[in-house]
């Protein structure tokens, strides 16, 4: 088999890149270890930056998002029993975010790929990139015990943190930066009315909590938990009790509870691989970097990477110029590190760290008090939250 661009990974970044390539008349094959139904079962991101919304619009897959997504012009921070609104729209000169689940984005992209009639290969085992340091890279994979080979011009690794693309790079050619946080997030989905019409990020001495949503009738809530906790340790009742305790009284009193239909624990880490290009192999999204979810940046960063790599591929095929491909890693990493910095800062300010004790708690409260009362500090938070330009 031969294609122009082999994409490893059928998550949001692989699918969006595939769609943009189709629009530009460049052919691609997408390979994934699992099938589309499994990909749609993963519950992940909920907040889209304006840049992400713009990219989905350019890709022609924004129709349902425009109809069903919830534009938010602010969010709340709570701490020390108080509640403050960050007015994103007024602080950024009119920008908003869109609350629309990653599951839905992925759904829309999968439907579009089917309409485009472009090739995706699911349940592909042992996917491996080869010879990407030369002119003729190729990918091998196995299905039903048979090994197949795809020859291509470029391999794009959109295969997430655990995928084979980054691992195929020789150790001496890549530099890894990592910070693991000493806690996780326990998240639930429940078909109950959200406690507030906007998101609430809560700092509390018992730990962080987040009130988010997927629609006006579906809530997504998180509480900071121990890394030793198991999902089975957390009955719905225990979850709701703990969430209530971490919210200011007036918010807790308005919480509607009900049975959860999804419950999972995610560890938190910051991770960056440099560079993001190795000859004809390019890393995109979670394959190259991970951020803790506190700043809602992971999916949005994957989309800005897609923008940069697409610019490179478009120029290569349509203008016969290598300049944008050569600039990919530097341009992407400049934006990545700012989002890594922001996500680390939000995480540090909002979570309970056992080793800093009551002193650390007071420092966080002082920082939050400064943040919500200083126009300059609020504007900086808002500017980063809605997403830095690209």
Binding site residues, ligand RFL, CB under 6 A: 8-14, 31-34, 39, 44-47, 102, 124, 127, 158-160, 162-164, 185, 187, 266, 285-286, 293, 296-300, 302
- Told to judge if 72 belongs to the known catalytic residues of this protein, a careful annotator would answer yes
Rounded Cα distance, 83 and 372, in Å: 10
Rounded Cα distance, 351 and 355, in Å: 12
* CA nearest to 209, candidates 356, 350, 385: 350
Cβ proximity to ligand RFL, 296 vs 349, nearer residue: 296
Whether 282 contacts 157, CB under 8 Å: yes
- Told to judge if 138 belongs to the known catalytic residues of this protein, a careful annotator would answer no
In whole angstroms, the minimum distance from the beta carbon of 297 to ligand PHB comes to 8
Q: Which of residues 174-213 bind ligand PHB (CB under 6 A)?
A: 199, 210, 212
- Residue 3, binding choice from ligand PHB, ligand RFL, none, Cβ under 5 to 8 Å by partner class: none
* CA nearest to 106, candidates 34, 51, 56: 56
Cβ proximity to ligand RFL, 214 vs 374, nearer residue: 214
- Told to judge if 130 belongs to the known catalytic residues of this protein, a careful annotator would answer no
- Told to judge if 194 belongs to the known catalytic residues of this protein, a careful annotator would answer no
Cβ proximity to ligand PHB, 294 vs 378, nearer residue: 294
- Residue 318, binding choice from ligand RFL, ligand PHB, none, Cβ under 5 to 8 Å by partner class: none
CB atoms within 10 A of CB 226: 14
- Residue 162, binding choice from ligand RFL, ligand PHB, none, Cβ under 5 to 8 Å by partner class: ligand RFL
In angstroms, the Cα distances linking 262 to 150, 190, 235 are 37, 7, 12
Residue 192 gets which letter from DSSP?
S
In whole angstroms, the minimum distance from the beta carbon of 155 to ligand RFL comes to 12
* CA nearest to 221, candidates 246, 250, 249: 246
User: With CB under 6 A as the contact rule, which of the stretches 11-19, 39-47, 83-91, 133-141 interacts with ligand PHB?
Assistant: 39-47
User: Which residue among 137, 164, 194, 293 is the active-site one?
Assistant: 293
Rounded Cα distance, 83 and 201, in Å: 10
Whether 236 contacts 259, CB under 8 Å: yes
Give the phi and the psi of residue 358 in degrees, each rounded to 5: -60, -30
User: Tokens representing 226?
Assistant: 């121990």
Q: Which ranges constitute the DSSP H helices of the chain?
A: 12-23, 36-41, 50-58, 63-68, 88-91, 102-116, 164-167, 236-245, 249-253, 298-314, 323-350, 357-373, 375-386
Cβ proximity to ligand RFL, 12 vs 74, nearer residue: 12
Quickly tell me which residue has 């839905």 as its tokens.
Answer: 104
Cβ proximity to ligand PHB, 119 vs 348, nearer residue: 348
Cβ proximity to ligand RFL, 74 vs 163, nearer residue: 163
User: Which residue among 100, 201, 221, 328 is the active-site one?
Assistant: 201
- Told to judge if 201 belongs to the known catalytic residues of this protein, a careful annotator would answer yes
Rounded Cα distance, 261 and 138, in Å: 42
Counting residues that bind ligand PHB (by CB under 6 A) gives 10
> Pattern 258-297, binding to ligand PHB, x per CB under 6 A?
-----------------------------------xx-x-
In whole angstroms, the minimum distance from the beta carbon of 349 to ligand PHB comes to 13
User: Tokens representing 294?
Assistant: 């506190």
User: Which residue among 141, 222, 308, 385 is the active-site one?
Assistant: 385
User: Tokens representing 259?
Assistant: 């049975």
Q: Which residues are catalytic?
A: 72, 201, 293, 297, 385
Please report, as ranges, the residues that interact with ligand PHB according to CB under 6 A: 45-47, 199, 210, 212, 220, 293-294, 296
């Amino acid at each position: 088999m031969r294609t122009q661009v082999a994409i490893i990974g059928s998550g949001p970044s692989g699918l969006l890149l595939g769609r943009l390539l189709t629009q530009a008349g460049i052919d691609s094959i997408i390979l994934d270890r699992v099938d589309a139904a499994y990909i749609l079962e993963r519950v992940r991101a909920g907040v889209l930056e304006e840049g992400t919304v713009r990219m989905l619009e350019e890709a022609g897959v924004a129709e349902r998002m425009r109809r069903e997504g919830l534009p938010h012009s602010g969010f709340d921070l709570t701490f020390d029993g108080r509640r403050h609104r960050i007015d994103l729209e007024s602080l950024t000169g009119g920008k908003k975010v869109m609350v629309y689940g990653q599951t839905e984005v992925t759904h829309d992209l999968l439907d579009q790929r089917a309409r485009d009639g472009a090739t995706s290969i699911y349940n592909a085992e042992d996917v491996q990139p080869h010879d990407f340091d030369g002119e003729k890279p190729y990918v091998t994979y196995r299905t039903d015990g048979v090994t197949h080979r795809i020859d291509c011009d470029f391999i794009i690794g959109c295969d997430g943190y655990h995928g084979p693309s980054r691992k195929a790079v020789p150790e001496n050619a890549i530099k890894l930066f990592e910070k693991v946080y000493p806690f996780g997030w326990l998240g639930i989905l429940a078909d109950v009315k959200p406690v507030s019409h906007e998101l609430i990020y809560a700092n509390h001495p018992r730990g962080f909590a987040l009130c988010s949503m997927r629609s006006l009738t579906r809530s997504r809530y998180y509480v900071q938990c121990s890394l030793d906790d198991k999902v089975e340790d957390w009955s719905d009742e225990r979850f709701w009790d703990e969430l209530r305790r971490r919210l200011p009284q007036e918010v807790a009193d308005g919480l509607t509870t009900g049975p959860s239909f999804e419950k999972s624990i995610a560890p938190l880490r910051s991770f960056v691989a440099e560079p993001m290009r190795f000859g004809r192999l390019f890393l995109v999204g979670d394959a190259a970097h991970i951020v803790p979810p506190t700043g809602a940046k992971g999916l949005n960063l994957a989309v800005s990477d897609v923008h940069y790599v697409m610019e490179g591929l478009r120029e290569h095929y349509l203008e016969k110029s290598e300049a944008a491909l050569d600039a990919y890693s530097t341009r992407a990493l400049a934006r990545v590190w700012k989002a890594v910095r922001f996500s680390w800062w939000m995480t540090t300010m909002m979570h309970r760290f056992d080793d800093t004790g009551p002193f650390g708690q007071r420092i966080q409260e002082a920082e939050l008090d400064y943040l919500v009362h200083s126009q300059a500090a609020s504007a900086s938070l808002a500017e980063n939250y809605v997403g830095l330009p690209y």
